[in-house]
Structure 1
């Protein structure tokens, strides 16, 4: 087991669906070189959209998806996050070449072939199962007597009459039985009478089963189901809910019970008490944490709030205590205090783990406590899922998706398997061999793109989504071409249109006037965004770790540059990629080509930001953005960063430039490639320009930084112009997004409950010399500031400077600001219907629309239907025409009369 320093693989979903509601991850287990998981893969944009629960299997080392089975009904998704239910992780067991699982909320246990996912057997005697264990060929099942579930009604969005969610949740009350099944024959061996079995307390070892039942600890012989002994305990004094319960484990002839604030050891033969000692009452909204590591039983107290600057929590001191297994004597303690630099109010909402001589906690991220040396290391940039946590297995660390808003600027998102440090050459190794010249290397190039073209992602280096060429209010279809696949935004220059078919690894060229296909080029991996036109060439990055330069005329290779320091591959979203991928959309500024290779400033040596001569492919400079210190440790989180629950760190993005600085999300460089501290307003997305998920705790912003934290993210959004998508000109910011961000307590769901709504808006730019908003200063606070009314907008906040804001009745996926002076118009495209509650509307199945709006007040000038929903940010404007990349794999060109 090693600390996370290298990618092994990555998969999805990219985010958990909600922070205030039930976790999207119920269980993750591993056996036989496979990883199995139960996750909700429904849209992260709205928790009210239908859940899509799946049981899936992946190769444990490559991450390749092996099979996936839908689960039609699972636990109520509007269930409060901090109420668990902690029983769900115990519904999935993997044993050798078999998987045992409940394929429904109150379904019986099914046995699956681990290699194929085929259901082999369903054990009908196990209806209403809640917990599964497997030992020695026997399946132990805790079943609820009766349905075991109850109707559950969560908070619903305001103003949507008739919208209901018929959900069900686990019923903690009631009686339970324990059933033992011979896994080989499928026959029930025995079943205990119904009784007050306490959830999460069943354990087996060496032919015996133990659990708490009411106010007794019970030992049952597995061979025949007979009770061997029962001892009174104070279980009735402990309220058992879906979020927590007592903890019981068995080891080498001793059964240990953490109950209340006491850890008790009993002899498994007689039930007699051997010793007792103090222990933590519980983890943070999770069962008490006791582990056996290096021959001691450890009480891991993570239930409180150990550190937060500016409060008495700084002085809190506690210890992880290691007791002698047989006598209960204290053999070792690991002090835990503010000196460890914890940067969160509480432990994450799941139990810690123990593996390989480490106790692994999750206060801000993932901390490794070495029980032998007492040393602690921090990695706040990676964390597990709410409720479940993370899984150390197979020498790797598996971290499923989370909905966290802490440390957003540097923290990983998605489903990761990470490994320790790998020995690799430095960034300058094999430098001469990294440039490969193609057959068109010496050919002449054409002039720069003409005015009014769309030569790069979002139209220009600033990624403004703006063009000075006007587009007629009334347009019609001029042509439509079927490219196929998931398409990028289109680039139009030199009379041609260029687009990437992302999953198919291809870049296509079409005649911009007629739509006639001219050529295509297949790269070595995904091309995830639009290419860039430069002096008769097309340049794009690729997920294979290379940057390609082709002639725009014929698609011949001019040169190819390997941005990855070594040609090392991994699997990401089920395709092979470089460990150091490059986004498709590269930046040209002052005849210098910019791009970034890598995944995180904390993984695989960090990010590499390159400057190249775009005509020759010659490397001008490379800047490493590495957030680890010389000792490969995460630097201490400063009080300033801690105050806003943030940390140093960077993730790659499509780079942008204001003519003086190059930006990568919140990060900045001067034009020589040197990282600089920036205090400059610019358009960026905290999750990257290409993120189309619309996770509710993120947005695009015209500002300087994004303040993290359970309420900090809302504070920033209420202080600055923010939206789902935005376009910016010299004076104003136009956007589509929520009118406000309720700073909900982390335990209370408020998404759309308080009446927040989507709006179109126009806001004045503050200018680079303006003071930072309070949410962006070192004295950032969590509470939003009082709002100030703007024209037509009663909910505008200080710093937003709204000129107007009007309700939005469509889900905007694309936005372009086109024209100058009186001809300037805001053009948007998206889906009809209430996408917050309707999956059909969210997917564009209720119709898609193109709308032309007045920049003066947002009023509709013209509107017409589109044949399909555009991809996110999939509209371009050039030569008075509009070009759309549609989700059906086609390109649509619209304009005035020919």
Structure 2
């Protein structure tokens, strides 16, 4: 609380006027001088004449600045037209009219906050995790002008020389890995086994940041993310057969369909190449117009398309855009694979909040683009559920009052069991507040460090889910990391659903990992009033647990073998970050899927790429951070020395 506001003459320090202070939740109020008016207060704002101290304007903004959040730990900002508050996200308080607005999906970092300048609003990355379904990551700048989607005059589809002339090899077998994480469910598993004992068959240095590989037609396909180039390699020898570049980056691997190689690009287009020779069959312009922005020092569309598209019931589905609150929203589309014909399309925008209605501190309706997944019936884009004609479907909302302030908490139950990543499938930061989860649940804001089938990465088959948790203890606010203490790998039955314990009529939560230090274990019986909510736990034990000395950053399941890859979990005294920064290479570990016991370790000269591990046709392919792709296969018995 500020007791008094003083106005002193800058020349002689004489008191010109003073007025009573105001209460301002969380910290001292900010003072802004705009057009000779001194603004202060919260949520009851006063504007006083700069020279006389007389109140000349007031604003009552209880609805815009509700309680339920503390003020951010950075100063508010102001422009000639707005005060910009950081309560839940960024609230634009109109100094000239009553056109106030609330933007919970963008928030600034501690100390620095956000910055209006150059006609833009600059938003650095922050460490909060409210509104995970809509929050924007990274450092970005947004403009104030309307971004209504224009009607483009250019043709949506272009035909190339390979149009209507498919590859000779068109069959995809169950042993292949034809799409991101092997199948439309994104399970990261294949039924065909790989040997427990492996040797390097070939390696190919491509350079740059590589995606996960995909395999079919006796070929391996991998994309250089920044160069936007797809490479086709012979699966047996590693020889490069062809390369083809798009006009933008490719952030995830292509999808192989009937002899075609189909992928999206950051240039806002979808490309279809013939698998035999890389010739273009068609290109579909998914972005509504050819407008470019600068992203990570490169030009890309304001409506980028993820590289990995979803193949479901003979159509390929994808998204164009970033957020329902940016550039007219996120477009979703379904294309016929051989022709690129547009079958379904929709656009998801907003919903823009009504400031006359209450908002909630941890969840908000809206949309954020991500790689699509499915439960076999519905499509999922993060929290959003759609049917196969791209009509939005409902999910069950479960709400309860929680936290010390009585805030409303929410999570959702989806119509089917599907894989979700609350930070997005391509987020490689391994933050302690983001989770992968194979479940009916959308966990949203809630913790899941004790939940089954949830962690920093996982793979699954028809019966079981195999997960790695980088974080088994709970830290309420700050990012955290405990290298050198091991990582927890475990298996669960697929029907072992996460439990949000509320008491009556529910299974009892159980402690499940006895090796966790007692003083760091968050009690499984916390009620909803605990700060940030109690989070999810479990009501049935894991099938097995194993602490590993590898920081698992890539996983694949091949028959009875679980494959793990990552840097070693060591902290050298002279160079503590050597392993985390990739200076100590990596480890490929093969373990038994039935009990987690280690079969063999294989040293790697470079750190594995994030989610860059696959298994296909009895071989293991791994992308690494030095731009190489490695192929492992069965040990050649003819080269082994005879045993005495």
Tell me the TM-score range normalised by the shorter chain: 0.7 to 0.9
Residue 569 of structure 2: aligned partner? 833
Counterpart CA distance in 1 for 2:295 and 2:109 is: 19
Q: Measure the CA separation in 2 of the matches of 1:860 and 1:637.
A: 58
Residue from 496, 500, 503 that aligns with 1:774: 500
3-state DSSP class of the match of 1:812? coil
User: Does the 8 Å CA contact 1:739/1:756 hold for their aligned counterparts?
Assistant: no
Q: CA deviation at 1:892?
A: 0.7
CA contact (8 A) 2:557 2:563 kept: yes
| Contact preservation (8 Å) 1:358, 1:371 | yes
Shift of the 757–642 alpha-carbon distance from structure 1 to 2, 3 Å rule, reads: farther
Residue 222 of structure 2 corresponds to residue 499 of structure 1: yes
In the TM superposition, 1:640-789 aligns within 5 A as: 642=360, 645-678=362-395, 679=414, 680-708=416-444, 712-714=445-447, 716-738=448-470, 740-744=472-476, 746=477, 751=480, 758-766=487-495, 773-774=499-500, 788-789=510-511
- In the alignment, the residues of structure 2 paired with residue 493 and residue 750 of structure 1 have an alpha-carbon distance, to the nearest angstrom, of 40
Give the counterpart of 1:544 among 267, 280, 285.
Answer: 267
Does structure 1 retain, via aligned residues, the 8 Å contact 2:484–2:569? Answer: no
Choose which of 440, 453, 460 in structure 1 pairs with 2:162: 440
The 1-side partners of 2:513 and 2:149 are apart by: 58
**Local SS of the residue matching 1:832:** coil
Q: Show the counterpart of 2:552.
A: 812
Aligned ranges for residues 502-541 of structure 1 at < 5 Å? Answer: 502-541=225-264
CA distance in 1 between counterparts of 2:134 and 2:515 reads 34
1:882 paired with 2:620, answer yes
- Output the TM-score relative to the length of structure 2: 0.87
Q: 1:103-140: per-residue Cα shift (whole Å, max 9, x none)?
A: xxxxxxxxxxxxxxxxxxxxxxxxxxxxxxxxxxxxxx
Q: State the Cα distance separating 1:743 from its structure 2 match.
A: 4.7
Mapped to 2, the partners of 1:359 and 1:407 lie a distance apart of 23
Alignment partner of 1:487 is 2:210:
yes
Shift of 1:835: 6.2
Q: Is the CA contact 1:738–1:756 (under 8 Å) kept in the aligned structure 2? A: no
Q: Which among 543, 558, 568 is matched to residue 291 of structure 2? A: 568
Q: Distance in 2 between matches of 1:385 and 1:377?
A: 20
Alignment: residue pair count = 593
SS in 2 for 1:452: coil
Deviations 1:676-701 (A, max 9, x none): 12323321211111111112221212
Map 1:840-855 to 2 at 5 A: 840-855=578-593
- Preserved contact between residue 452 and residue 542 of structure 2 (Cα < 8 Å): no
CA distance in 2, matches of 1:707, 1:462: 18
More helix by share: 1
Structure 1 CA distance, aligned partners of 2:456 and 2:147?
Answer: 41
Over 3 Å counting, the alpha-carbon distance change for 1:588 and 1:376 in structure 2 is: same
Unaligned stretches of 5+ in structure 2? 396-413, 525-536, 637-644
Counterpart position of 1:336: 61
Contact 1:264/1:275 (8 A) holds in 2: yes
Residues 587 and 892 of structure 1: CA distance in aligned 2, closer, same or farther (over 3 Å): same
Residue by residue over 1:267-301, the C-alpha shift from the partner in whole angstroms, topping out at 9 and shown as x without a partner, is 3333222211012366734x541011233101133
Query: Compared with structure 1, are the counterparts of its residues 720 and 280 closer, same or farther at alpha carbon in structure 2 (3 Å cutoff)?
Result: farther
Q: TM-score, structure 1 length as denominator?
A: 0.63
Task: List alignment gaps of at least 5 residues for structure 1.
Answer: 1-258, 302-317, 780-784
Contact 1:739 1:757 in 2 (8 A): no
Give the CA deviation at 1:799. Answer: 5.2
Runs of 4+ in 1 over 6 A off after TM superposition: 753-756, 791-796
Question: Aligned in 2, Cα 1:889/1:681: closer, same or farther, shift over 3 Å?
Answer: same
Query: After alignment, is 693-702 or 828-837 more displaced?
Result: 828-837
Is the Cα–Cα contact under 8 Å of residues 343 and 642 in structure 1 kept in the other structure? no
Q: 1:634 aligns with which of 345, 348, 353?
A: 353
2:122/2:142 contact within 8 Å kept: yes
Asked whether the 8 Å contact 1:491–1:498 carries over to 2, the reply is yes
Deviation at 1:861, TM superposition (A): 1.6
State whether structure 2 residue 140 is matched by structure 1 residue 416: yes
